[in-house]
Structure 1
Amino acid sequence: MIILLVLFAVVIFFMFRRSRAQQKAQQEQQAKMLPGVEVMTSFGLFGTVQSIDAEDNKVVLEISPGTTATVHRQAVTKIITPAETVEETPMVPDDASSLTGPVQAAAEPGEAKDVASTETAEETLARLNKENNKEQ
């Protein structure tokens, strides 16, 4: 009889311990949930947190540009992008002018030249044929 009571007490102890660990993990996740963080809900909806209403336990998620959904705070089950790694979108130029520049290629071993401005089409073809012959 005493063995059964001890066994029952051990099972209850581990149940409460597991419950506390889950509550602690959920509180840590709630603390990491800030605007700008990408999350997943319990029903598989991915979105970016726009705002959090702690009083009403609501989270507004932007699921696509201009489209928002309001879900219960506990429906957010996974943080995809933590707050530390959330960054602003890099600025992309409207044209490709900043991506191009002089291309350096070795004319002779140890010597570099500006291919884009000094090499003609015929010279480029000859250089490429020469490089192809070296590979074979």
Structure 2
Amino acid sequence: MDPLTLIMLAVLAVLIFFMFRNSRKRQAEMRDLQSKVVPGAKVMTNFGLYGTILSIDEDENQVELEANPGTVLSLHRQTIARVVDPVVSDEVAAETTEGEPEFGERVDDVPSDEKPDAKKSDD
């Protein structure tokens, strides 16, 4: 066997390894998502609709989703893209804001490195 054939077989083996790894990751993510999809959960669909799950029909693979109060939609279970995370409580938010300022946030009492009476040279 020549070296080029060995290299081609090695590349093929690596590609097959990554294909199996990716499919296992996707399956694990889907199992995790399906375990979070329960009545009362706030979700987002593949087409960007947010709502709350009212009921799930396992036999028909349908979900009753309330988009607005009084508006109930019947969707296929696989159209649920993700479960929307709950809003962070005020106590947790206060703990995270004590450190560095966020991007774009103004901070008034930041010490400056320059002295106000120092002149810059025009060189």
Q: Judge same fold: TM > 0.5, yes or no.
A: yes
1:126 matched residue in structure 2: none
- Note if contact 1:37-1:81 (Cα within 8 Å) is conserved in structure 2: no
Structure 1 unmatched runs, 5+? 86-136
Tell me which structure has the larger Cα radius of gyration: 1
Give the partner amino acid of 1:46. Y
TM-score, structure 1 length as denominator?
0.58
Give the partner amino acid of 2:7. I
- Note if contact 1:40-1:46 (Cα within 8 Å) is conserved in structure 2: yes
1:23 aligned onto 2:51:
no
Number of matched residues? Answer: 83
1:34 to 24, 35, 38: 38
1:88 matched residue in structure 2: none
TM-score, structure 2 length as denominator?
0.63
Compared with structure 1, are the counterparts of its residues 81 and 36 closer, same or farther at alpha carbon in structure 2 (3 Å cutoff)? farther
Please list the CA deviations of residues 42-66 of structure 1 after superposition, one character each: whole Å capped at 9, or x if unmatched: 0001100001112221111000111
Counterpart-to-counterpart distance in 1, 2:85 and 2:71? 19
Give the alignment's Cα RMSD to 1 decimal.
1.5
Q: Determine which structure has the larger strand proportion and give its number.
A: 1
Question: Percent identity among equivalent residues?
Answer: 47
2:55 matched residue in structure 1: 51
Give the partner amino acid of 1:13. F
- Note if contact 1:39-1:46 (Cα within 8 Å) is conserved in structure 2: yes
CA drift at 1:81: 3.8
Please list the CA deviations of residues 21-43 of structure 1 after superposition, one character each: whole Å capped at 9, or x if unmatched: 01111111101111110000000
1:133 matched residue in structure 2: none
1:96 matched residue in structure 2: none
